[in-house]
Amino acid sequence: MLERVSFDVPAGAMVAILGESGVGKSSLLNLVAGLDRPDAGRIAIAGQDLGTMSDDDLTRFRRKHVGFVFQAFHVLPYLTVAQNVGLPLALNGQVAPARVNAMLAAVGLADRGDSMPRELSGGELQRTAIARALVHRPALVLADEPTGNLDTASAHGVIALLRDCVRDEGATCILVTHSRAAAAIADRVLVLTADGLAESA
């Protein structure tokens, strides 16, 4: 259960929400994404109140305006790397191979577009997920423990890449993590506990 959680994220900013496992970080992201609905309160993105939208409207809103980066990557095993990256564009009825190639280059995978996910390392899979999250130029990127399945060296590179790509694309990012090292890249760090959400000391 989440209580006493209130925060604003300026456009173009990167905010990290730090907290221990089980405190509700993923639940908070699901609420921000409109995947769950709050019992009370209001969630607004770019001036749009998610609580007033139908499920179909929320789905269309997410497809157009939100990008996701997950701990478990969620890269589809039967699609090539390029097809995975281009999936958000396809869902929006767009075909833009040049944009896909540009995002692959941005995450250092320009030569892996025809590869299958099984051929990639964990770090490369997360780079694929970052490219996929940003390919359709979303206003908001939600990253849920994006380094949780990576070794320390890969995690450092991926989190720096996420920061740089988000800034290059002009997106807003909310990153939830239990890692202070990962949170340190953000413009602002908030700490989520059972007592609510507060600025990091």
Model confidence pLDDT, tens digit, residues 47-77: 889 989 999 999 999 999 999 998 888 999 9
What is the mean pLDDT of the segment spanning 130-142?
94
Instruction: Compute the distance between CA of residue 74 and CA of residue 183 in angstroms, rounded to an integer.
Output: 22
State yes or no: pLDDT of 1 exceeds 70.
no
What is the mean pLDDT of the segment spanning 83-95?
94
Cβ(178)–Cβ(191) below 8 Å: no
Cβ(69)–Cβ(129) below 8 Å: yes
Residue type, 2: L
Q: 82: number of CA atoms within 13 Å, CB side?
A: 15
State yes or no: pLDDT of 16 exceeds 70.
yes
State yes or no: pLDDT of 3 exceeds 90.
no
State yes or no: pLDDT of 186 exceeds 80.
yes
Cβ(139)–Cβ(172) below 8 Å: yes
**Domain boundaries of the chain, sorted by first residue:** 14-199
In the chain, the percentage of residues whose pLDDT exceeds 70 is: 99
Looking at residue 201, what is its pLDDT?
Answer: 63
Distances (CA, A) of 31 to 35, 53, 56, 75, 94: 6, 13, 16, 23, 27
Architecture of the 14-199 domain: 3-Layer(aba) Sandwich (3.40)
Instruction: Compute the distance between CA of residue 31 and CA of residue 3 in angstroms, rounded to an integer.
Output: 13
The closest alpha carbon to 198, from 2, 5, 1, belongs to: 5
pLDDT band (50, 70, 90) for residue 102: very high
Mind spelling out the 3-state secondary structure of 85-125? HHHHHHHCCCCCHHHHHHHHHHCCCCCCCCCCHHHCCHHHH
Cβ(133)–Cβ(125) below 8 Å: no
Euclidean distance between the first and final Cα of the chain, in Å? 24
What is the mean pLDDT of the segment spanning 25-40?
88
Residue type, 102: A
